[in-house]
Structure 1
Amino acid sequence: MLATLGTRPNNVAGKISLALLSLFIIFSALSLARPQKRNSHDERKASGIDIVIAMDISYSMEIADFNVSGRRVQRDFMSREVVKEFIKHRPNDRIGLIPFAGQPYQESPITLEHQWLLEKIDDVKPNEELTQGTAIGSAISASAIRLDKRKDTKSRIIVLITDGSNNSGNISPIQAAEAANKLGIKVYTVAIGTSDGRLQRQVNPAQEFDTETLEKIAKITNAEYFRAKTTEQLVEAFTVIDELEKTERTKQVITTFKDYHHYFTFAAALSLLGGLLVLTFHHPPAPE
């Protein structure tokens, strides 16, 4: 077939046929090379550790008694920033959020979608529409109920952040801690802020930190109590919690391949068909 193309190199049909058959060879070679596109993505596997962050958002959390680079910042801002860093360090843990003031609020389910959770934390702030007070017992109870719904976990943890003592809610902190302990849930307690920090609009400006109760909560549930008066102490508290509750960091890489050789096979077939059609209808001159 190729030999016949050289009989009349100046013939238009011959040139077209040669071009089409050359394309056939090129496309065939590319098809045999089997071109592919590789797609890889990471699949996270839950570590089996479920965590609920119970975060105090009462009015007193607006007190600016933390120092960051020489600037005074509010307790609620500092707690949000440290919690976000904590979440970023635990990508394989399912984490939920329950803010509380005079009562707990169901803000976030326990999830592996941490980017969504980080965005929710930014929205958790003291609000005049919230029931005011500090319902520590109710916050622990609500967090424990949320964790107890998970039956496939090997470890369940509550991290409680507060700057006051229990003065609201229908259950005492000790009762809530004992109930959590029966469910196998640890409650890490973090008392945040300085004892002399106060807001003028606080209902009870003489209220002090109930460190004794927070220590008992942690002890009952075989966890730890932390007192964070400075930014460094708050960061250290969450660093210790992170180290105490080690998580298995597993990552599965899934790779998929998409073949493109059939496109070149189709192009080669068209080129060959075109070349054959040209040769069929434009025969080279035969010898007499």
Structure 2
Amino acid sequence: MNASEYIIGGLAAMGATTFTNPIDVVKTRIQLQGELAARGTYVVPYKGILHGMVTVVRNDGWMGLQKGLVPTMYFQFIVNGVRLGIHTSAVNMGWTRNKNGEESFGLNLFWGAAGGAMGAYFSSPFFMIKTQLQSRASKQVAVGYQHEHTGMLSALRTVYRQGGISGLWRGSTASIARASIGSGAQLATFGPIKSFLRENNLIVQPALNSLCGGFIAGCCVTVAMTPADVMMTRIYNQGLDANGKGLLYNGWLDCFMKTARAEGLYGLYKGFWANYVRLVPHSALVLFFFDELMMLKNRLGITY
């Protein structure tokens, strides 16, 4: 295994996050508004992506659009460094090819999901912190449980004080499910899409081929991952009782069932368009930056 592949994967994700974090803030709040309430029975402070961004700026200032950016950077570096590094190592070792030597959709799906699960587990504390920071808003537009964190270090201290080391990994099962679905769908479709575009002379220029492949793969990811993303946001953001138990959910399955009963399919796909607008360019940029950095590494002859 090559360590540089893991580092490059992390750096590619950090580059993409700089552009997409504002949409992630809006997405998080849309997923939390009307939590466990029937549609039409609650106030909707965030009525869509653009309205949500304007609402954030009006109430929290321009910097409100970059809430949770620091823990998001840590999360993205770890989860994408691990998942892209593992998948690239699997490709280089021939583990994604079938007996005929052809790239296998199933094997790419497996290694993409395995890398996503591992990356999600190790990065879980930072996703929880970024969710809690992104949801924190002015009283008039606040949604979901409001945590009193002032920053990433403040949040880490509070979470550790409440639940110790295990508290930092509260909800990691939901994180693993989300990342496995998303990473598997992305990496299983990215390569075949690029090959299809190239082999049919549709888009052959390397950088543009990677960018378009990433956009199409991102569409697949959004459809597959949004319900798991809603569950993860809500589990990580919920408050805790005196015993450290969640006030609303006992786990991701409990969250799924309660959301489905109270809000229906709409609730499971709440924030879909914000997720789409964030994930598609994020997916494209991550894979584009990854391909470009890998080519730079090869040109420089970096082997470690």
Report the TM-score range of the alignment, normalised by the length of the smaller protein. under 0.3
| TM-score after normalising by structure 1 | 0.24
Bigger helix share: 2
Q: Which has the larger radius of gyration?
A: 1
Bigger strand share: 1
| TM-score after normalising by structure 2 | 0.23
